[in-house]
A and B are shown apart, each in its own frame.
Chain A
Amino acid sequence: MTGTGVTVAVFDTGIAAGHREFQRKYNTKGAVSAAYKFDTAVWQAVPNAVGQDTFGHGTHVAGLIAGATTGVAPDATLIDAAVMPNGRCQLSDLLLALEWAATTPAIQILNLSVGIAGYEPGLEEVCDRLEAFGVLAVVAVGNAGRNRTGSPGNYRSVLSVGASSRQNRIPAFSGSGELMVDHHLYGVPDVVAPGVGVFSCVPGAVDTYEPWDGTSMATPIVTGLAALHLQRDPGIRLADLKEKLIEDAVDIPTEEDARQGFGVVRFV
C-alpha cells in the first residue's frame, strides 16, 4: 500500500512542491496536484501557484504524508490548501477552506494542524457537518501539554492526534484532556504517532531536511495511514475507518490512557 488513488488536502502554510520529496518519476506534476488560497471577500478558493510555502510548516507536514522517502503514503495525491499562508489566518479563512474541501469530490482526507486554544463549541457543529460530507479530518490536538487542547483537535467528529517519542513516551508538550460535551465525557487525543525529532523536508534547497517536534508532525503520519486504508478498502465507511485506526493502535503500558488515547498508530 502506498496511497495510490487517495487525495489528501493539506490545510497549512503551503507546500514547497519543488522539493525532491514531491517529484515523481512518472508524473511531471509531482505529488502536489493543485494549490489553492482562500479569498473570503468573494468566498472562493482561488488557484495558487504550486510550490509556495513562506513558513515551512506545511512542507514538513506534506512530506510526512506523501514525500517520496519521508512519507507514509508516498503515492497519495496532495492538494495544497494554503489556508495559513504566513503561519496564521482568520477563522473565516478556515471556514471557507473547510467548506471548499467538503464540496470538492476528489478530497477524501483533510490534514489539519491548526487550532484555537481551548474548546470552542461553535466549530464542533462545522466539523460534524464535515463528517456528514464524507471527509475524514485528522487534526493535531495541540502542543500545550497535559489538560490543554485546541479546537478542532478536541472534537469527537475528527480523529484527534497527539505525539509520542522514539522511547515510547508521551512528550510533555503533547496536548491531552477530558471534555464533557452534551453530557458525554470523552478524552483526546484518540491516538498518538511519532512527534519528536521527526525528519521531513523543508523549503529552501531541494534536498533540505530537518527534525521537528510537534503534534503537527504526528498528525500527517496518521493521515498517511488513513490514506493506506482508503487505498486498500475504498468502500469503507468513515466511521469504520476511524475505528480501524483506533483499534489497531498499540497501548504504551507505561503511559496513562488520558495522555495517549488508544495508543500509537500502526498499519495492520
Chain B
Amino acid sequence: MELNPAQSGKVNAALRGVLASTTPNQQVRAVLVVRPSGQTVPDPPPLDPADFLDRVAFREAVIAQQKQLTETRLGPLFRTLAQFGLHPRGGELGAVVVEGPAQQLLAALNLEEVIRGMADAQVEPPSPRRQ
C-alpha cells in the first residue's frame, strides 16, 4: 500500500515496511501514539506526595486523576478507532495497540490526534555478558 506524505511522516521505518508490503484488507497490528488536539481540558494542579498519608494513597489519587483526564481528552478518539474496526486496547499512557485492516490503519494515521505509528516490534534486554 502507498502512504501519503502525512502518513509516512508519522510511522517508524518498521511500520512503513509492513504497510508497503501489505494489501488493503490484510490484518496489521501496530502501536499508535495519540495526543488530544484542539480545545482540551486544562491540566489539573499536580498532586504533592507530601499531602498524602503514604505513597500508595498518593498514587491512588494520581491514578484516579489521570484516568479521568484520559477519558475526557481521548475517549472520543478511542471510540473513533473502534468504529474504524481497529479494536484499540490500552490508552492510559497515550498509546493504543490497534489491530485491523491495513487500509483502516492508514485512515487512522490521517487523524490529527494520531501522532505516531509504530510496528509491534520485538523488544529485548541489552545482552548481558557472563564473565
Contacts and interface: CB of A to CB of B under 8 A. Distances in A.
A159 to B, nearest CB: 16
Contacts of A173: 129
Q: Is the interface of B mostly helix, strand, loop or mixed?
A: mixed
Interface in A200-222: 210-217
Given A57-B128, A125-B116, A103 B92 contact: yes
Given A105-B63, A106-B56, A91 B121 contact: yes
A40 B97 contact: yes
Interface string A9-44: 000110000000000000000000000000010010
B92 A91 contact: no
B130 to A, nearest CB: 6
Contacts of A134: 47, 49, 58-59, 62
Given A84-B125, A114-B124, A210-B130, A43 B55 contact: no
Given A57-B128, A99-B90, A143-B127, A92 B31 contact: yes
Interface stretch (A176-184, A233-241, A250-258): A233-241
Contacts of B57: 105
Contact of B125 (A5, A13, A95, A135): A13
Contacts of B54: 5, 234
A46 interface: no
A66 B88 CA distance: 37
Contacts of A13: 125
Interface size class, chain B: 35 or more
A173 B129 CA distance: 10
Contacts of A126: 33, 93-95
Contacts of A88: 122-124
Contacts of B97: 40, 43, 92, 95-96
A90 B120 CA distance: 6
Nearest to A116: B123
A68 interface: no
Interface string B21-38: 000000001010101000
B24 to A, nearest CB: 23
A236 B93 contact: no
B33 A237 contact: no
Contacts of B126: 113-115, 140, 142-144, 150, 175, 214-216
Nearest to B119: A91
A122 B118 CA distance: 7
B92 A99 contact: yes
B123 A99 contact: no
Interface of B: 12, 29, 31, 33, 35, 47-50, 52, 54-60, 62-63, 66-67, 89-90, 92-95, 97, 115-131
Interface of A: 5-6, 12-13, 40, 43, 57, 60, 84, 87-96, 98-99, 102-103, 105-108, 113-116, 120-123, 125-126, 128-130, 132-135, 140, 142-144, 150, 173, 175, 197, 210-217, 230, 234-237
